[in-house]
Structure 1
Amino acid sequence: MRVGSLGADLIARALDLSDAQAGAIQIALAWADDTGRVVATLADLRALLNDACGADLSASYGLVSPVSVAAVQRALLRLERGAPWAFGRSSFDPRDVSGVTVLTCGMLAAVPGLYGAFAAHVLESLYSGLGEIGDVAAPGLMVMIDESHLVFDGATPAVVRRIEQITRLIRSKGVGLIYVTQSPSDLPHVISGQLATRVQHALRGSTSHHLKALKAAADTMPGSITVADIMGLGTGHAIVSVPDSRGAPLPGRSVAIQRGRKELCSMGACIPPAVVESRPSTPDRPVDVVPKRKPRPWWHWPLAVGVVLYGAVLIGNMV
């Protein structure tokens, strides 16, 4: 992805910067926009910061402190050493989403701030790149964000507010969001309050912290669900609550997962050809949210550097 496409808030999120350091990034990017300068790679951002520090921008943009720039440069060095492959000349494009799209982010998740910034960038790109279609019976695109607690751990209030806004409004663009995490308490309450469907798998408790999370999961599930109900769930079972025709949540009840072509077993490595071969079949239903494009071979997938997005037309199985 391109560094400049993230914006100052998400760059600061990826680099774990302070407010003053994020301000230096914001000034530098504003200067780059006004002068037509492209900021695609980490090297581009480093050069931009050096030039901004040497230029007299205080009258038009604000003071760029050499101390803040030096701290940002050190953070850039850590990111260059830890994830040099994360940024480039291409960026995420919603028009590339077709059928089942998997962005494998195993390496990206090793840098939690960068993973969170990329996930937020994907949501922002979908929200800004898709047109309004109004109230529809079913979404045309389902987006699953795995390990979604990484999106919010350490995120600034501004980033959380923006994700909350996107979560609330993106459904009018025919997009449904699925946040995948181990415990409901991993998500901010402003996010979990926007989610209509809940699938709760088994949780185990061996410490007071785990038991507190278990009680919170049971108390927030509609219906008379207890901690014992959640702890007693077996493999292939979950407690599910969905909205009724009026949008009110139905009481949670235990259901068994419908098995597909594969038997339940331990998961192996996520290899693109295997993922594509085992994907669920898509029902014959028109999908007009994302323009149709000829699917690319997996080795040409953009941003196959790291699993933020299962951009999937899974209407028949997920709705």
Structure 2
Amino acid sequence: MFDKKHFTDTISAGYNPKGDYIYLGAAMLEGEVIPEAAVRIPLKTMNRHGLIAGATGTGKSKTLQIIAENLSKKGVPVLLMDVKGDLSGVAKPSAKEAFIEERHKKLNFPFEASGSPVEILSLSEQDGIRLRATVSEFGPVLLSRILDLSDAQSGIMSIIFKYCDDNHLPLLDLKDLKKILQYSTAEGKEEFEKTYGRVSTASTGAILRKIVALEQQGADIFFGERSFEVQDLTRKDQYGNGYINILRLTDIQDRPKLFSTFMLSLLAEIYNTFPEKGDLEKPELVLFIDEAHLIFQEASDALMDQIESIVKLIRSKGVGLYFVTQNPADVPAEVLGQLGLKVQHALRAFTAKDRKAIKLAAENYPISEFYDTKNVLTSLGIGEALVSALDEKGRPGPLAATMLRAPMSRMDVLSNSELKELVQNSDLKGKYNESIDRESAYEILTKKIENADAEKAREKAEEERKEIRKTSSRSRKPSADSSQKAIIKVLTSATFIRGVMGVLNKLMK
């Protein structure tokens, strides 16, 4: 038999913040829910990042939904990466089903059904507000890391961007970038070598092949105008609730390069544009990255360095990052060490590899006098999780096996008509859903090449005309040889000889 009071006092001491908080649920011990041992997450620590992990079907998405909708109610905007397409229901109130009432009765916590203000976003042709970014906004360093370029190739990318800056050539989409790469070793080769040094044809060819590979994952749709302004992610409705921005990614699950490209560009843009905030009472923005392994599985070492750097620094901008995945091992150790809140749902031990993963996962959590963490990980039910969070001073709280509250919103997806209605009523639709293709590097260089070709054609035609005139002039003007031959011909003619002889005969008489 456990000491209920000691357990309750321990959990309450770790999860009883003085400021505003999010109520996650109540701690459990030996299968019993202890309502007095409430698990509350301080709102001011939500920019310290977090992890939501667990096997398929254990309730990760619902936990994400609970945290997101409660942040919204506290006036904190949220961005959800919806890879599986099961998060849109956050826009509509829950149906108040019997099992929800029963769960909240155990928690001794009132249940209130409500939806949240939602914006539907898209990277592709799906319904939603279109997210785009220009090549210029990425810059040569970030783009080189995304394309996994060598040092020599990265140097060429820097030269390309410098040339475009010096010559006022906007780099908006991938066709602009491909055009200037081709130009640097063809029509513009002499111009480039004179100012920037020799550009290797082999290197530009390798870069072009990597750009084509990125295009095949749909990046040609993502690059372009109008660029999405990250400040539009921080909107609130008329009641002060933060918008939950849901990015639909159901059609790019098999295109991890595009997903990681977008994520890195978004994080870089947020970091570069958001002002320093320090420690706030609540975050400016919280991002939930579902199926987080898609970011890391194809990331190069250079790209991983960039991600780790942003994760470490972005919290000072008042931004929290939450990675949602099946196993904590999906997240690199360097990133995992930066995550303050960990919500671990059940893991399944079907193989020796699974058991090893569970043992490693258990070691990520504080030692507990109440739980055998490794065994608890395999015995948690749906909607239950091990929670480890930071207190308001940034200290790890006690480990708590928690029965989570139910989402206030619908635990199902929106219908197609409901999705279309959300998009049609969006204040951002007119701003971003018109594709713009203004004159940029591609058009300017194409025109420059065409003008150069036309000038060469004119010069060639003029040279040909001069040659024709010269040839014609020579044919009309007799040469010295032909004049001499004509004189000899006259002097030796019979008529000329007879005339001369006649004159001599007259003189002799």
TM bucket, shorter chain: 0.7 to 0.9
Q: Counterparts in 2 of 1:210-289, with a 5 A limit?
A: 210-224=354-368, 225-262=372-409, 264=411, 268=413, 273=418
CA distance in 2, matches of 1:48, 1:70: 12
Distance 1:33 1:111, change over 3 A: farther
- Could you say which structure has the higher strand fraction? 2
In structure 2, the partner of 1:171 is 315
* Deviation at residue 255 of structure 1 after TM alignment: 1.3
3-state SS of 1:235 partner: coil
Shift of 1:61: 4.4
Contact map agreement 2:134 2:227 (CA 8 A) in 1: yes
Q: Which moved more, 1:13-22 or 1:196-205?
A: 13-22
Q: Which position in structure 2 is the counterpart of 1:313?
A: none
Within 5 Å, give how 1:56-67 maps onto structure 2.
Answer: 56=190, 57=192, 61=196, 63-67=198-202
Which of the numbers 223, 232, 237 marks the counterpart of 1:96? 232
**1:44 CA displacement:** 0.7
Query: Which letter maps to 1:86?
Result: F
CA contact (8 A) 1:120 1:163 kept: yes
The one-letter amino acid of 1:47's match is K
> Taking structure 1 as reference, are residues 81 and 190 closer, same or farther at Cα in structure 2, changes over 3 Å only?
closer
Corresponding residue for 1:69? 204
Matched, 1:27 2:159: yes
Is 1:42 aligned to 2:174, yes or no?
yes
Change (3 A) 1:165 1:206: same
**TM-score normalized by the length of structure 1:** 0.77
CA distance in 1, matches of 2:378, 2:291: 21
Equivalent residue in structure 2 for 1:154, among 294, 298, 307 = 298
Say whether the 8 Å CA contact 2:159–2:196 is kept in structure 1.
yes
Q: Is the 8 A contact 1:108 1:114 kept in 2?
A: yes
**Contact map agreement 1:146 1:180 (CA 8 A) in 2:** yes
Post-superposition CA distance 1:26-64 (Å, at most 9, x none): 332232233322111111111011122233545754543
Match runs of 1:166-205 below 5 Å: 166-205=310-349
- Are the equivalent residues in 2 in contact too, given 1:146–1:179 (CA < 8 A)? yes
Matched to 1:51, the amino acid is: Y
In 2, the alpha carbon distance for the partners of 1:204 and 1:108 equals: 27
TM-score by length of 2: 0.50
1:140 to 284, 296, 317: 284
1:82-103 per-position Cα deviation (integer Å, ceiling 9, x unaligned)? 3142222222312211212122
Cα RMSD of the aligned pairs, angstroms, is: 3.1
Aligned positions, number: 286
Larger helix share, 1 or 2: 2
Deviations 1:189-247 (CA, angstroms, capped at 9, x unpaired): 22111111111122223233333222211111123353221122221111111112331
CA distance in 2, matches of 1:102, 1:227: 34
Closer/same/farther in 2, CA of residues 96 and 153 from structure 1, 3 Å limit: same
Residues 60 and 161 from structure 1, CA distance in 2 versus in 1: closer, same or farther, beyond 3 angstroms?
farther
Paired amino acid for 1:37: L
Q: CA deviation at 1:152?
A: 2.5
Amino acid at match of 1:7: G
TM-superposed CA distance for 1:271, in Å, is 6.4
Give the corresponding residue for 2:350. Answer: 206
Residues in 2 aligned to 1:91 and 1:258: alpha-carbon distance in whole angstroms:
38
Which one-letter code corresponds to 1:217 in the other structure?
A: A
Tell me by how many angstroms 1:120 deviates: 1.0
Using the TM superposition, name which of 61-70 and 93-102 deviates more: 61-70
Contact 2:148-2:300 within 8 A present in 1 as well: no
**Partner-residue secondary structure (3-state), 1:213:** helix
Q: Which has the larger radius of gyration?
A: 2
- Unaligned ranges ≥5, structure 1: 278-294, 305-319
Answer yes or no: is the 8 Å Cα contact 1:13–1:114 preserved in 2: no
Unmatched tracts of structure 2, length 5 or more: 1-132, 236-242, 435-509
1:290 paired residue number = none
CA distance in 2, matches of 1:303, 1:182: 34
Equivalent pair of 1:100/1:276 in contact (CA under 8 Å):
no
Would you say 1:118 and 2:254 are equivalent positions? no
AA aligned to 2:313 is L
AA in 1 matched with 2:170? V
**Greater relative contact order, per chain length (Cα 8 Å cut-off, separation 6+):** 2
